[in-house]
Each structure stands twice: as structure tokens, then as C-alpha cells.
Chains A and B, each alone.
Chain A
Amino acid sequence: MKNTLKKENSIIDEAISQDYKYGFVTDIEQETIPPGLSEDVIRVISAKKGEPDWLRDWRLKSYKNWGKMKNPSWAHITYPSIDYQSISYYSAPKEKKELKSLDEVDPELLETYNKLGIPLQEQKMLAGVAVDAVFDSVSVATTFKEDLKKHGIIFCSFSEAVHNHPNLVKKYLGSVVPMTDNFFAALNSAVFSDGSFVYIPKGVRCPMELSTYFRINAANTGQFERTLIVADEGSYVSYLEGCTAPMRDENQLHAAVVELIAHKDAEIKYSTVQNWYPGDKDGKGGIYNFVTKRGTCLEDNSKISWTQVETGSAITWKYPSVILKGDNSKGEFYSVALTNNHQQADTGTKMIHLGSNTSSTIISKGISAGKSQNTYRGQVKIMKNAENARNYSQCDSILIGSECGAHTFPYIDVRNPTAKMEHEASTSNIGEEQLFYCNQRGLSTENAVSLIVNGFCKEVFKELPMEFAVEAQKLMEVSLEGSVG
């Protein structure tokens, strides 16, 4: 009796799910599904990507959780409330219109490229101009891929990973940022479009900096990106995200999730340069960037290091964190956040000390100019069992102009007396004397400001991989333009 009932049930279930499938066949043919978010939309996204059932169910569960959550309001940012039903949650990768030569590109954009010192060939690629044979990014990428394969490193898009390495994805997905973590992480878990997946096998030191830049199908990963990096025992990887070149995107809301997992003796270094469109001088437009980034030092002697340079986006809401679970593990956070005009940034980090002898370092540099608001918000939590934990935090801010704001909100929570925890912060403007001294030596005020700001950020820039560091300095100059005088 029981068996027949079960059978019947399964038949019914099958019928229902099939019904859905057929019901949406016509929709699937479309490039973009209509705006709105519902369970059906998630089924469509999942079906379009040909995902296994477990992932579809995971998305649906996230969606249910998201429905119960509220948009967080504690951050020091203001923006009109977002209508989540007016967003289209899936658009198939479209072929970009190829331009024939650089002459067709927006001259303003080219000027910025020149200031950043981006090589001509790269400029063409970034602007979407057909690239000739001399610099074939595809072939470069292919050579890289082969090299990685030799070492057993998996570096592919998230969708590929779901198909080719489902066990790895299933094991680690949501293990650091659970779907219930926060409003935006839940939304991402329900509707994430694509992203990167990296797995470094035991004892392998990744021979090159991994960058989305060289991943063939990196284009159009969309607004809900998901990155998962796993470093197995004794491995090392350095991952670069973003690009100094200004990115234009029609999607206003970005809600990405990044998860890092470091096993025993492993080290992950994650560097970001974010320069999304910040909106115009009057604060119109611009990207809302709500990102959840977190890493776990799962086992002993592991290390995770975040380095970020944030100059873009109208709103940045981002707290790359490290959970220091393994004994002797290390967490680092180096950040430069620059805001100008009407930009708002609320960024910082969380260091959760669980294991013994864990240590963390936080260096945060905020620069606010124009009418912008720049906030450092960080938490250091030293739990009961974290013997001899060590934390050093330093948050400095520079204010340029009288209409901007710089705020510091550190939360310090110590539950173990053997902890040594230090926090320092300072806020000031650029000294008249400093400017005068530079002027006296023949530097214009604008150059002097950029010199001083770059000196201020040096501690963070030196953590960046070399090619990024050089560009980041130039990026500072470009982003500060018009803020002096």
C-alpha cells in the first residue's frame, strides 16, 4: 500500500514538474525573460543553464528565505528603495556589437584609458573593438589554460563547474556565505547568473595570477556574480578581480557573492580593483554595488588576504571578511576606498577569531572628496576559545573639500583575556603646509594632492600585484580629478 502511494506521488510530482517545463518552453527561447522575480523565474533561470535538480532546489530555498528578509538599513548610505520586481533576472549572453576601429569609441572613454596608461591593443579590447591577430586574447588565454591544466588547477566559469565538477561545487557552495546570511546574499543565491570557480589541488602553487580578464567566457557574467575559490592543503593562489578601466554597465544593481576556502597550510590572496560607473557629477545614475565577500581559514596555518581598491560605483556596500577557524591562521584586509562627487561607500571587514594563535591585520584608507560619504565599518570578534589571538587595525581617512564626510564605525568584541587587540583611527584633511611645500617645488595643486593621496595609500598598494599597483596609482589621479580648486 505504502509503496503504491509513493509511486503515485512520484508520478504526480513528475507530472507537475513536467508541466512547468512545457509551460515555459516558449519563454526559454527568448533572450531575456520579462522583469520580475518569482519561483517560476528561478526555475527558468535554472532550466536555461541546464542545472541539476539540487542546485535548482537550492536556489528555490534561497528565494524563500530572501522573501522573509528585509533590505538592510543600518549602513551609512541613502538610496531610493529598489523595486526588485522591475529587474530582469536573466539575459542570455549577447554578442557585443563590434566596432571597426578606435575612432568609433567615445572619445571621453579613450582619454581615460590614455591617462591610465593602458596599451593601445588592450584599449581596443576593452572598448569592444575587434582585436587583430597581434594581440589575441583568446589564444593567450588558451595557452594559460593549458598551463593550468598541467598543474591540475580548475579555473572555469561557474556554470561549467556545475556541469564538470558538481561534487566540488556541491560541497563548497554556500559553506562560507550561507543562503540565509543577508538580504543580498540570499538574492544572489536565488538568481546568480555566473561567475568563476577555482580549485587548487593539494600542494600546488598556482604559477600565475588568476584573473577573470583571461577567462574566455568572462564577458557578461551579469549582475549577480558568484565566485568560489577552494585552495586545498598546502596550495597557493592569487586571484585578481576587476579592472582599472572604467566599466559601463546597464545594470544598476549588482549583488555578488564571493566565497573563499583555505584548507591546511593553504593561502589565498584576493585582489580587487573596482571601478564601476559612479554616476555623473550630480550623482545621477551609477551602479549600486552590494557585495558579500567572505573567506574561511578552515584548517590550521591557512591564510586569506583581501586587498581592495574601490573607486567606482554610486554605492558600495562591501565587507570582505575572514573566519579564522584553524589554529595559527591569518587574515588580512587592505583597502583603499575613494569617493568623489556624490558617491557613497560603506565598506570594511569582519575578522572572526575562533582558533588559537590566530592573527588578523586591517589597514583601511578612506579618501572622500566632493560631496561624497565614506564609511569604514568593521568588526573584530575574538571568541572564547581563541587563545592568544592578535589583531591590529588601522583606519585612516582623508577629507578633501568641506562638503564630504568620513566616518569610522569599528565594532570590537573580545571574549578572551589572552587576546591582544589594537585599533587606531585618524581623520584629517591635507595640510596646508604639505600643499604649500609641493607648490613651492613646482608641483601644481592637483599633482600635489595626488602625490599626497598616493603616499597615504602606499601601504595598501604595495600589497597589490605589480601590474595592478601601477594602474591603481593612476586610477587615484583620474578619480580625484576636479576635486581640487
Chain B
Amino acid sequence: MNYLQRQFHALLDHCLDERKEIRSLRKTAFDRFNQLGFPTKKWEEWQFTDFSEIRKNEYRLAWGKDLPKIPDKIPGLIPDTYSIIIINGHYQPQLTKLPTGVSVKSHEDFSQIDGDEYSLNGNQNPFLALNTALMNSEISLIVEPDSIIEKPIQIIHLTTALSDQFMNHPRLVFQIGRNSQATLVEHYIGETKIPYFVNPVTQVSIDENASLNYIRILEEDIFGCHTATTNYILKNDARLNTTSFSSGAKLFRHDIKLDFAGDGGEAVFNGLCLTEDQQHHDQHVIVDHQQNFCQSRQLFKYILAEKSSGVFNGKVVVRKNTKQTDADQSNRNLLLSPSALMNANPQLEILSDDVKCSHGSSTGELDDDAIFYLQTRGIDSETAKSLLIHGFANEIIEKVKPISIQDYIHNQFTDWLS
């Protein structure tokens, strides 16, 4: 019996009063996970990432007693935002500030357990199955129809003051109602020296003519492993603008899938990954154009230093008989050290002829000519390099809105660089 099995049985014993549906869903999901197992190098979609760290380390599930004294100042809190705070997997309702038109449900209130948000649907992602089996903290955030939320809502997942190695499987459901507009920030922060494992699943659905600006910030501690799954469903004329900024975690894997479930949807993905030391960041993006007149844009940038490695795998699928699809995908990678490694795999799978699709990928180091040019202008080579790296990252950072979040990311980036 491995540690996951022990934890799973402990969880079942712990939540004896859970609804029958949830228990059976957990069991099905755990069976699925056992059947799939941890990804190996032989799995096409997982081949570049080594998960032995998670397999070997014995993490235990977080319980109520793991809640430390709540820090006076929550790290990462961005001024002028509404906030939802989750510490070591425990939702803190007393710290939550929310505007009208937004409601939050949490914990055992698995309201939509029969909905698509929880179905495994033949999904072959073992971490999604593992999350469904072990989900121990749940947040559903619902934005009512026709509401415009001016200020961003920040959801902070803080891992701090651990006594031993533990894991969390947060489940997040975001529903943006018709004609609504909102900005969400999903923010992961770790402050500990003990290995831990966070495996969130986020399900986002955006209703007709609604618009979501979604920012994901990953600042897990270097001792943390983070495997995430995010699924988006866009209805008619829905708009999504996402930015992901990730600099933390020893191992980071993110599976992103977007389905255009209605006509006329628009999606923009911007991503910036910063890695150093022996960090490994792996992002897989699938954009599925199932309906007509949809547009998607992707721009993923990596800056890799020291012995770190990066993986980018982006796939655009255009289904049969769809009309006027416009998809663009771009991946740019900057290698700062001779030991850094990058694997890029941008893919197009197109089954309709009424399309305009393109993708591009480039990998290289800083341009010697550009450094030389700056030097001739009296700028020393270190400053010149940092100026160029800044320029490279700014293409992503300056697109972030509102400005308060942009400033936060910009500061974090400057810290990372120095």
C-alpha cells in the first residue's frame, strides 16, 4: 500500500458523513488514478517531466489542525482588491471580502457534484483523477449575471509553517454569469522549508457575452511541487483574457484546456515562466475550436537560468465543419545559461478548411549585437543584459490589467532578475 492509498482511506474514514455521491465519485476517481498511475517517460504528453519526487515523497493530506496562527500580514496581498484567503488548504471566511453580485461556497458544500465540473469524462490526466479522489478544499465562486465587478478578486492559497510534508488538492469552480465582467487572480504562495505538494483543479465557465480577466500567479516555495489542471468553457461571445506568471515551485506542471462551446468566443493566453536553479516548468495547452467564428491567441515566454528546464506543448485543434477560425500560437524562449534546457512542441491539428492558423516558436540566447550596441552607448554589459531580459518579459507584463496587478508582477519579476 503506497502513501496515497493510506491517505485516501484515512480521508474516507475522516469524512464519514459525506454525501453518498461524493464518496462514490472519490472511489471512482481513485480507481481511475490507480489504473493510470503516475506519468512515465513513455507517455507522449508527459515525457519531459519527472514525477518521481511526488511519487516517492510521503505527503499526507492537510487536516484542520494544520492551520497555523494566521499571519498579521498575508503575503502577496495586492492592494485595492477583494480577497479570498486559503491557508494550508483551509478557507478563512472571516478574512474574505467580496462585492455584491459575487458569492462563494466552500468546503463540504459540493453543490454541483453531478455537474460537468466534477465528471472525469474519460480524462486521461492522472492528476485530475487524483484531485477528484482527494479534494480537500473546495471553493465555488459565482458571479451573478449582468454584474460588472470593478475591482479584481484575489484568491490566495498560502502554504506556510508546515510541521511535516503535506499535500493539498484544492478544487476551484468559477462561474461567470451572462453579460458579466470580472477580474480574478488565483495566487499560490509558499513559505516553508518542508517539501509539499499542491494539486489544484480549476474549472472555469464563462456564460454568454461575459468577460473574464484571469491572472494566475505561481510563487510556490522551491520545496513545493505544483501540478495544476485548468479547464475553460466559453459560451457564445464569451471573452477570456488570461495571464500566467510563474516563478516558484521545484516542479510545476500545468494542463490547460479551453473549449469553445459557443460561436464567436475569444481567448487570449499570455504566459511568462521564470526558472532558475534546478526548477522544471512544464505547460501543456490545448485550445479546442469546436464552434464557428472563434479566435484564440497564445503567447508563452520562458526565461531559463542556471540548470533549470522548461517544456511548452501547445495544441490548437480545429474541428470538422467549423467556420472562420482564427488561431495564433507563439512561444519564445530565452536561455541564460549553458545548462538550461528547453523543449517546445507547438502543434496544429486542423480538420476544417475555413481557418487561419499559425504558430511560431523560437529559442535562443541574448543577442550579442544588441548587447554590443548598448555597450557602445556606455551601458555596461550586466545592465545591458538585464535591460534586454526586461524588454523580453515586458511584452507579457505590460499587457496585465489592472495596473495594481501589473505592478505586483513587475516587482516580482525585478526581484527575480536581481
Contacts and interface: CB of A to CB of B under 8 A. Distances in A.
Given A412-B363, A417-B365, A426-B358, A399 B352 contact: yes
B382 to A, nearest CB: 17
B129 interface: no
A375 to B, nearest CB: 9
A421 B364 contact: yes
A412 B361 contact: yes
Contacts of A85: none
B345 A417 contact: no
B350 A405 contact: yes
B342 interface: yes
A427 B345 contact: no
Nearest to A401: B353
Contact of B360 (A404, A407, A413, A425): A425
A245 interface: no
A414 B353 contact: no
Interface string A412-443: 11111111111111111100000000000000
Contacts of B357: 426-428
> A405, A414, A416, A424: which has the most chain B beta carbons within 10 Å?
A414
B335 interface: yes
Contacts of A400: 353
A5 to B, nearest CB: 46
B381 interface: no
A409 B348 CA distance: 7
B348 A412 contact: no
A421 B341 CA distance: 13
A423 B345 CA distance: 10
A423 B360 contact: yes
A429 B355 contact: yes
Contact of A412 (B343, B349, B353): B343
A427 B362 contact: no
Nearest to A428: B356
A394 to B, nearest CB: 10
Contacts of A406: 348, 350
A411 interface: yes
B347 A408 contact: yes
Interface in B328-344: 333, 335-338, 340-344
Nearest to A425: B359
A409 B347 contact: yes
Interface in B283-332: 320-321
Nearest to B323: A402
Nearest to B315: A409
Nearest to B338: A417
Contacts of B352: 399, 402
Contacts of B335: 414, 416-417, 419
B311 to A, nearest CB: 10
A432 to B, nearest CB: 10
A399 B323 CA distance: 13
Nearest to A430: B353
B349 A405 contact: yes
Contacts of A397: 348, 350
B351 interface: yes
Given A421-B362, A426-B358, A428-B357, A411 B350 contact: no
Nearest to B342: A414
Contact of B320 (A74, A402, A408, A417): A402
Interface residues of B, number: 34
Given A74-B44, A408-B359, A421-B363, A413 B343 contact: yes
A429 B353 contact: yes
A147 interface: no
A384 B309 CA distance: 13
> A74, A403, A407, A417: which has the most chain B beta carbons within 10 Å?
A417
B44 A403 contact: no
A421 B334 CA distance: 11
Contact of A425 (B340, B343, B346, B356): B346
Interface in B112-150: none
Nearest to A424: B360
Contacts of A403: 320
Nearest to B44: A74
Contacts of A242: none
A406 B349 CA distance: 6
A412 B344 contact: yes
Contact of B350 (A399, A412, A416, A423): A399
A201 interface: no
A410 interface: yes
Nearest to B341: A415
Nearest to B318: A427
A427 B350 contact: yes
A420 B364 contact: yes
Nearest to B359: A425
B354 interface: yes
B336 A425 contact: no
B351 A405 contact: yes
Nearest to B352: A402
Nearest to B304: A417
B302 to A, nearest CB: 11
Nearest to A423: B361
B321 A402 contact: yes
Nearest to A429: B353
Nearest to A387: B338
B363 A414 contact: yes
A423 B331 CA distance: 9
Nearest to A373: B351
Contacts of A405: 349-351
A6 B3 CA distance: 58
A417 B362 contact: no
A413 B363 CA distance: 9
A403 B344 CA distance: 29
Given A399-B352, A427-B357, A428-B355, A411 B362 contact: no
A280 B68 CA distance: 72
A426 B96 CA distance: 47
Nearest to B311: A413
B359 A399 contact: no
A92 B349 CA distance: 44
B353 A416 contact: no
A409 B317 CA distance: 12
Contacts of B361: 410, 412, 421-423
Contacts of B349: 405, 407
Nearest to B305: A417
Nearest to A376: B348
Contacts of A415: 341
Nearest to A392: B362
Contacts of A428: 355-357
A125 B369 CA distance: 59
A241 B320 CA distance: 36
Contact of B353 (A402, A409, A410, A422): A402
Nearest to A406: B350
Nearest to A399: B353
Nearest to A369: B353
A399 B343 CA distance: 29
A39 B354 CA distance: 53
A52 B351 CA distance: 51
A417 B346 contact: no
16 contacts: A400-B353, A401-B353, A402-B354, A405-B349, A410-B344, A410-B361, A412-B342, A414-B335, A414-B342, A414-B363, A416-B335, A417-B336, A423-B362, A424-B359, A425-B348, A425-B359
Give the 5 A-B residue pairs with the shortest CB-CB distance, closest first.
A417-B335, A399-B353, A412-B344, A426-B358, A429-B353
Interface of B: 44, 320-321, 333, 335-338, 340-365
Interface of A: 74, 384, 397, 399-429
Given A413-B342, A415-B341, A429-B353, 12 more contacts: A397-B348, A399-B353, A409-B347, A410-B347, A410-B361, A412-B363, A414-B333, A414-B335, A419-B335, A420-B362, A426-B359, A427-B356
